[in-house]
Every structure is written in C-alpha cells, then in structure tokens.
Chains A and B, each alone.
Chain A
Amino acid sequence: MTTHDGAKDTIDAKAQVRRAVASLAEKTSNAESTTSDLSIDEELNLHSIGWEPVELVSGVSLFSTPAGLWNWGEGEIASASEAHAQAFKFAIQRIHKEAADAGGHGVVGVHVERRVYSTHIEVTLLGTAVRPVGAGRVESSDVFVSDLSARDFTMLMVAGWEPLGLATGASFVYAPRRTMGAALQQQGQNVELKNYTEAMYSSRESAMERMQRVALDLKGTGVVGVKVVEGPMSFATHAVGFAAWGTVVRLVKDAHHFVRPTMVVSLNDLGVAFDAQSLH
C-alpha cells in the first residue's frame, strides 16, 4: 500500500493482528454494546466525518385496503394511495422512535421493503441509527431517516448538505376499459392504448407531486436517490401504480462544496489479468 506521493505505508498488518488477538485475553469492555449492519468500510467512512453507528433499528406497518377495490372504477384508487401513504408514515414514525430511544440522531442505509397486495400494503424499513461521536440524545421528531448508504451519507455531508428525511409518494389509478366498439375496431391493429398511457401519466404526476410535497414540508431543497416502481398491478388488469421515494436534502453550508474526484487506475482489475486465449 502506498500513499499519493509514493511513500511506503508503515502499517504492519501482522503486528496489528497479534496485538488484537492478545487483547482478547483481557476482560470484556464495560462500554455499551452497539449493533449495526454497516460494513467496515462504511463505519470508517462515518468515523472520518465524526459519526458512529449506534443500533440496528426498524419500522413496519401493514394497511388494509377494501375488498374488490382494484377492478372497477374511474380515476384514482384513492383508498390504495391513502393506505400506501399511511403505511409509510407509520413505519417512518416507528423507526424514528426506535432510533431516538437508542440515542441515534439519524438512520442511514435504510432498506425500504414495500409490498402491494390486492388486500393490503406492507412497508418495512431497516437501517442503522447513527450519531455524531459521543453526542447526547435528541427527540424522535428530530431524527432523520435516509435510504442513502453510509458512504453516500458521508459524501453528502462532505459536500455541505444534510439529509432531512425520507419522502415518499404513490398513486394508483384505474385504466378505464375500452368500449366494446373500440376494442373490436382496434383488434388486429398496432394502436396505442391511451387509457393505459394516460393512467400512467396520471399516477406519475400525483405520486411525484406527493413526494415533492413531503420534501417541502421537511423544509428540504430537493430529493436525491429517487427510486421509482411503476407499472400495472399483477393482480388487477385495469389498475396501474406509481411509487417514488428518496432522501430529502438541504444545503447547510453557504455553498455547495465541490468534491473533486481523483483519477485512479486499479491494478487488480480483471481486464489487465493474464489471458491464456491471447496466445492463440
């Protein structure tokens, strides 16, 4: 391992291991235990900006939707959109509470698991609560939740921004059935099904507008890392859905701090490995 200026790094890996293993014979620590699902790289990233992991935390919610909801109707399937919003809201509240109880100031690397069934909607959030090293507790309402990885969280903070929370928006819309005449007329033709196209646009606009509304409510300037799930529902032939979520961010420094990347050529890339085929 060498540094940028080519100087030899002085880390003695074997001595480190011997010292570490010898320490296991000593008494166990009196410190408070911590749990996290971060990799060692992510933990080092956090430490470089003065943050530390505290506890693995989660939040879950399941919301029921009325029977027969998905098959007949016009416009938005309001009950389903509302159930989706409520499930996210409750899951976020619960992960906030678990994080605050553990002494966290925020939750990073949140895995968002979202399942839409014909009868109910389930949302699970799982991530690691983090805090500035040694910092005291904050209120549950002051905890931020972010689906950015610890690595992305570090880069965001280095660039002068801060995460404020998770913003979500979803909309489910009926794609109106064609009349019998229209269906017969279009049979055997290449034709756009405008009922589906328009339903997708309608659900997209509502969902994105809702997500951006949450961002404004959190006093954010934007949403980064937006994930989108869209398309027809597998259990209903005339319903489409669009859901989006991401992390709301705000600039905390006077201006964005430009982080200039360094170009590197990796020596362990498979592309430069010896290839026996090249001898032919």
Chain B
Amino acid sequence: MSEGPHDLPEAAERRLTSGAFSSGLSVSDFSACLEMGLEPVGLVQGFCAMHQGAYAMGGALSRSLSPYGGSGGGYVQNYQCPHGMISTEHRAWGQNYEQTWVQDAWNQGFTSAYGRMLEEAATLGAHGVVGVIDSETPLGDVGVIEFHVRGTAVKVLDTPAPTSSPWSTYLAGQRLAKVFEAGYAPVSIVAAVSSVRVWAYCVTEYLMEGFSGSMWTNAINVSSSYEIEQIVTAQTWSRQRVRSSARAQLHGDALHGADLRLVEREFEKGDLEIEAVLRGNRIRRFKDFDPLPVPQPTVRLS
C-alpha cells in the first residue's frame, strides 16, 4: 500500500513526540515484541471518512432509465429475456456490472487512513507497525464510510534509524515471531475490495423465487439443471477480482493469512450488490526454510 498525504494534525505531532509510549498490544504480545527486539513507541492511527460519489447509481430510478448503462469502464455482462415478452412486471433485461466508483472510494479511503497511520509511525521514528486492526463503518445511510486503521509503531533495537516508510503487519507477538523464524519479513498489510451490482433478469428472478421447472425457466434450460447462473457468475467474478487486486500489490512477495469475505446486500427485489474484501499480510522471504523435522503429535497433560 502506498503512503498517503502528509497531513498529520499539529496537536497529534506534539503528542507523539513527547511523553510516554502507548501501545495496543496485549501483555503477552508486548512481551513477545521485546523478546524480538521490537520496542513499542506509540499507538498510531489514521482516519478517513469517504463519501461514495455515485452512490445513487444502480438505484430504482436509474434502473428504469438506463438499461445496459455505463459501469465506469469495468466488467459488464448483459442478460436478455428469452421469452420475447414485454411487460412492466417482466424483467426483460439484466446486468452484472463492476461498481468501479465503489471500489475507488474504498481504495482511496483505506489508503488515506493507512497512509496517515504510517505518517504517525514515521513521526515517531518507527521502523514498522505491528498488530494492525482496520475497520470500515458506515456513517448513517448516506453513502459515507469511516475508515479507521490503527496499530502499534515499533522500533527495531540496535539498528540505524529508518530511511523509508515503515513496514506493517496485522500480526503481533508470538505469531509475528514465528513469521520471522520461518524466514519471512513483513512488508505491509494488504487490503482489496471488489464490488459488483446484479440487476436480475426474468430467469434469475424466477429461479431465485423457486420457479425452476416452470414455463419461464424451461425456456432457457439446456439440461435438467437449474443453476442460477447470473448470481454464480457475479460471485465468482467478485472473488477472482479481489484476489487479482491483492496480487497486484504483491510484486513477487507472498500474501499470508488471507481473509476473504463476501457480503451480499439486497436493495430491493432483484437488485443486489456483492462486495468481496480480502485482507492479508504481504511477506518477503529473506532466508530459506530451515529443514524441519516431521511434526510430532503431543498430548497436553492439563
């Protein structure tokens, strides 16, 4: 992830450069960090409240106005009614399209909050930020999302002052120690999003309502299966897109401990938004794996 603008508030800068350190680490993680020679220097945070500029696109109004409407240059797939029927209650066309503006808003919000956190860490002279936590919270129902990224800035003892932007990781404590021991260095946290809007056409709508085997669904049926192809395609595309976005941030490194979540929101009947978010730790190998013995099972006597 790239560093954001230099816009640290003056009060924050004063607080960070004086007084006692703060940290978001548990006692055991704190202890493990000291064992690794990582000295916590401050709890650092970044915020960004983003408004999604084209939030209304895809709503009920634009649906009636804009069949095969623009998608901002991203993925689009159209579905045409096979029944040859014209009726206000029959969805004669459908579309899956990438909501590029939603993805752009998310990326901008996350990157800004992340960059601001790194800026605080750099102000403290930190080499890295461990135990990162991020959250995205909708503010009311007006298309505003608050991005909050926080973590504990650390200095590596007995090393020169940092000359580049701090590294970051979602891990802390013993799990981070194992990453180092396994021969990996943390590079940065990685977060990516994909968003696809689904406007169901008649066949998808009937299948979702349980009308498989009816005159409406038999019209397109090529075998005895009634798979809901439009939704399957949207979900599959969404997961693949978010993975390729995360891969684009790796530059030959590995993504470790990935967490891929998919959320489906139904705004009204036949109008869905599918959003996939992928988070993980970008890590880089700095030495080969030490040869490991085959693991031995243990039974705890407790």
Contacts and interface: CB of A to CB of B under 8 A. Distances in A.
A266 to B, nearest CB: 5
Contacts of A69: 210
Interface string B135-177: 0000000000000000000001111000110010000000101
Contact of B302 (A48, A119, A266): A266
Interface stretch (B3-11, B54-62, B69-77, B288-296): B288-296
B61 to A, nearest CB: 28
B234 to A, nearest CB: 10
A13 interface: yes
Nearest to A41: B178
A24 interface: yes
A86 B292 contact: no
Interface residues of B, number: 75
B176 to A, nearest CB: 9
A271 B302 contact: yes
Contacts, number: 210
A67 to B, nearest CB: 4
Nearest to A271: B302
Contact of A13 (B177, B209, B211, B278): B177
A17 B208 contact: no
Contact of A265 (B38, B207, B301): B301
B277 to A, nearest CB: 13
Specify the main secondary structure of chain A where it touches its partner.
mixed
A60 B258 CA distance: 19
B226 to A, nearest CB: 4
A104 B208 CA distance: 34
A43 interface: yes
B195 interface: no
Interface stretch (A27-35, A176-184, A186-194, A219-227): A27-35
B247 interface: yes
A126 interface: yes
A107 B70 CA distance: 38
A35 to B, nearest CB: 4
B180 A29 contact: no
A137 to B, nearest CB: 18
A120 B252 contact: no
B182 interface: yes
Given A19-B287, A48-B295, 19 more contacts: A16-B181, A18-B37, A20-B184, A25-B164, A34-B255, A35-B254, A37-B259, A39-B257, A40-B256, A56-B258, A62-B228, A63-B227, A64-B228, A65-B210, A69-B210, A79-B212, A155-B297, A263-B299, A264-B299
Interface of A: 11, 13-14, 16-25, 28-41, 43-45, 47-49, 55-56, 58, 60-69, 79, 83, 86-87, 90, 94, 118-120, 124, 126, 154-155, 158, 259, 261-266, 269, 271-272
8 contacts: A13-B35, A20-B185, A29-B284, A36-B258, A40-B256, A66-B214, A158-B295, A265-B301
Q: 5 tightest CB-CB pairs across the interface, nearest first?
A: A119-B210, A14-B37, A20-B185, A29-B252, A23-B286
